[in-house]
Amino acid sequence: MTTDNHASKYAANRFSIAPMLDWTDRHCRYFHRLLTKETLLYTEMVTTGAIIHGKGDYLAYSEEEHPVALQLGGSDPAALAHCAKLAEQRGYDEINLNVGCPSDRVQNGMFGACLMGQATLVADCIKAMRDVVSIPVTVKTRIGIDDQDSYEFLCDFIATVAGRGECDMFTIHARKAWLSGLSPKENREVPPLDYPRVYQLKRDFPQLTLAINGGVKTLEEAKQHLEHLDGVMMGREAYQNPGILARVDSELFGRQTEVMDSVAIIESLYPYIERELSNGTYLGHITRHILGLFQGVPGARQWRRHLSENAHKPGADARVVEAALDLVRLPRTEVA
C-alpha cells in the first residue's frame, strides 16, 4: 500500500524502520512518512495485555502512516489472535510478533527473544493469528539466544515457525541475544553481527521472504544487503539521523521523485502539529523526534537546543518550531 497513485515495483518490506520502544510512536511515524512514502513503518512493540486490558487506545495511528505494521508482544495464541483481528479491523497492513527483544520486563511477560527457545509455541502463535486475519503475519527474531547459537538451532527455529506456523516472512536481527547479563542496549552492541549467517539462511530457505536488521547505518550498506536478501530494516540510524530517509524512495525503491529539503519537511509538519495540539498533545512529544534532522548543517546545534529548551513550556506551539527553523536558515560560520 502506498499513500498515492504511485505503485512501486518493490514490496514495502524492502526497506523498513525498526520498531523501537519509546521511540517509534505515532508522532515519529508521521514525521518519517513525510521523508519516505515507500518505507514500511513499525509501531513500538505493544503487548497483548495492553491492548486487551489497557485504558488507552494502543492501536491509534494516523491514516497518513500507511504502510504501517503493528508489532505485538505476547505468547498466548488466543490473545494474539484477538489483537491481530482488532489490528486488521483498524487498518494495519501487517502484524509482527516480537521474538527478538531481550529485556527483563519482556522475558518476565514471556515474550521477546526468550521465545526463540520455544519454536513450537511461536509457530502456534503465528498460526492462530494467520487463521483470523488476511494481512501478513511476520516474525522479528535473532540468530540465537545464550548458548543456543548454532546455525542448526536457527534453521530448526525457522523451519518450525515456517512449517507449523505457516509464516513466510521473517526479519532477522543478525546478533544473538543474551537473556541475562547484558542490558537491552548492550544486547544491541556486544554480541557480534553475523551477516553471512542470515545470507546463508536465505540460500537454505529461498521460498521465504527474509529481511536483515542490525548495525545498518547507510543506504549503501542497505543496497549491499539487498544483493543477498529481500529486505533491510534500519533502526537507530534512521531515528537519530532521519535525513537519510529522504533518499530511500529514489535509491532503494526506484521512485522518480524530487527529494524535499529538510526545511520544507518541517514546514509540511505544521498542520499535523496544529491538529495534535488541538487534541491535547504536548509539543515536546512531537518535536523530540525531529531533533536530528539537520545533522551536520550549520545551525543544527541551535535548532536542537531551542526545541529542547522550549517545546515543553506551557502553551508551546508551532511558533517554537518556526523560531528553531530560523536558526538553521540563517547563514552561520559555526557548523554543529
214 annotated to bind ligand: yes
215 is in an annotated binding site: yes
**Single-letter code of the amino acid located at 199:** Y
Q: Is 173 annotated as a binding residue?
A: yes
Judge whether 21 is annotated as a binding position.
Answer: yes
Q: Is 117 annotated as a binding residue?
A: no
User: Contact at 8 Å (CB) between 132 and 81?
Assistant: yes
* Rounded Cα–Cα distance for residues 31 and 19 (Å): 15
236 is in an annotated binding site: yes
Tell me which of 28, 83, 101, 114 is the catalytic residue.
101
Report which DSSP code applies to 298: B
Q: Which of 110, 98, 49, 92 is nearest to 71 (CA)?
A: 98
Cβ 262 vs Cβ 294: under 8 Å: yes
30 — phi, psi (to 5°)?
-60, -45
Q: Return d(Cα 125, Cα 139) in angstroms, integer.
A: 10
Rounded distance, CA 182 to CA 171, Å? 22
Question: Is-catalytic flag, 101?
Answer: yes
Residue closest to 173 by CA, chosen among 135, 140, 221 = 140
**Which DSSP string do the residues of 116-153 spell out, in sequence order?**
GG-HHHHHHHHHHHHTT-SS-EEEEEES-BTTB--HHH
What's the full length of the chain, in residues? 336
Q: Determine if residue 235 is labeled as part of a ligand binding site.
A: yes
Establish whether 163 is an annotated binding residue: no
- What are the DSSP calls for 3-48, one per residue? SSS---SS-GGGEEE---TTTS-HHHHHHHHHH-SSSEEEEEEEEH
CA dist 244 and 30 (Å) reads: 16
For residues 105 and 122, give the distance between their C-alpha atoms in angstroms, rounded to a whole number: 19
**Active site (catalytic) residues:** 101
Q: What residues are designated binding site for FMN?
A: 19-21, 71, 140, 173, 213-215, 235-236
Q: What residues are designated binding site?
A: 19-21, 71, 140, 173, 213-215, 235-236
